[in-house]
A and B are shown apart, each in its own frame.
Chain A
Amino acid sequence: GQQVMQIPQYQHVQEGEDFTTYCNSSTTLSNIQWYKQRPGGHPVFLIQLVKSGEVKKQKRLTFQFGEAKKNSSLHITATQTTDVGTYFCAGPLDNYGQNFVFGPGTRLSVLP
């Protein structure tokens, strides 16, 4: 079945450093979503990318969808302690289904 992988599994950065997490799917995705889960919390939607090669920015966060729509990345510029959490990408099983497959996540720690 479809698999969604993420690297790295963990990332420790000094506050102010940049951070990037990468998401790869075994199949072409119609769209990809990113979620953030704070420690002890639940996943919260960040963004959805739909178009091939799409780039979206949210303040210090930059999201990119690959040309082949099989990979995506999230880049955070100048991390802050509020960025701590686990970042998940999720892709639908098919264009019409609603079942999202989540990646294993990248856990970000930010040292002050």
Chain B
Amino acid sequence: GAGVSQSPRYKVAKRGQDVALRCDPISGHVSLFWYQQALGQGPEFLTYFQNEAQLDKSGLPSDRFFAERPEGSVSTLKIQRTQQEDSAVYLCASSQSRQGRLLTANEKLFFGSGTQLSVL
């Protein structure tokens, strides 16, 4: 597609419910990132994939958070037993760059519109 696509755009969940957020990156982009953005804050890194390999999940706040990218394209962020503190915008970003080589000019992140999660 022309850009990074995320769905759903909005999700309201009851506390304790499981949710799944989808990200469809730009075709051919190797790297995929998930960020969490609380209201009025900057994006906070959650996890990073290079193709299907999850190379860094150090930002996932708890073991209730799980992300996958089984075929190296679409990714899903799953949150189990949602809590009110999980309420935030979840942003997905993709880039052409690949870990293991020096960053060069224009290794920019393309963000999707995000999923706004509200946990009641």
| A and B from one complex | yes
Q: Does chain A have a CB within 8 A of B95? A: yes
Which chain A residue lies CB-closest to B41?
A104
Q: Mark A75-112, 1 if CB is under 8 A from B, else 0.
A: 00000000000001010100111111111110100000
- Among the listed stretches A13-21, A42-50, A57-65, which one makes contact with chain B, having 4 or more residues with CB under 8 Å of it? A42-50
Instruction: Name B45's contact: one of A44, A45, A99 (CB within 8 Å).
Output: A99
Query: With A30-B103, A98-B31 in contact, is A43–B111 under 8 Å at CB?
Result: yes
Q: Does chain A have a CB within 8 A of B1? A: no
Interface residues of B in 46-63 (CB under 8 A from A): 48, 50, 55-56, 59
Tell me which residues across on chain B come within 8 A of A104, comparing CB atoms. Answer: 41-42
Assembled-state Cα–Cα distance A77/B107 (Å): 27
Contact B44 A102 (CB under 8 A): yes
Assembled-state Cα–Cα distance A30/B103 (Å): 8
Which chain A residue lies CB-closest to B50?
A98
Contact A98 B48 (CB under 8 A): yes
Contact B102 A45 (CB under 8 A): no
Query: With A43-B43, A88-B43, A103-B42 in contact, is A95–B102 under 8 Å at CB?
Result: yes
Which chain B residue lies CB-closest to A46?
B108
Query: With A43-B111, A48-B105 in contact, is A102–B56 under 8 Å at CB?
Result: no
Tell me which residues across on chain B come within 8 A of A41, comparing CB atoms. Answer: 113
Which chain B residue lies CB-closest to A102?
B42
Tell me which residues across on chain A come within 8 A of B33, comparing CB atoms. Answer: 98-100
Assembled-state Cα–Cα distance A105/B97 (Å): 24
Contact B106 A97 (CB under 8 A): no
Q: What are the 3 A-B residue pairs with the smallest beta carbon separation, nearest first?
A: A102-B42, A45-B108, A42-B111
Tell me which residues across on chain B come within 8 A of A31, comparing CB atoms. Answer: 103, 107
Tell me which residues across on chain A come within 8 A of B41, comparing CB atoms. Answer: 104-105
Q: Does chain A have a CB within 8 A of B25? A: no
Tell me which residues across on chain A come within 8 A of B97, comparing CB atoms. Answer: 98
Instruction: Name A95's contact: one of B43, B45, B103 (CB within 8 Å).
Output: B103
Assembled-state Cα–Cα distance A100/B59 (Å): 11
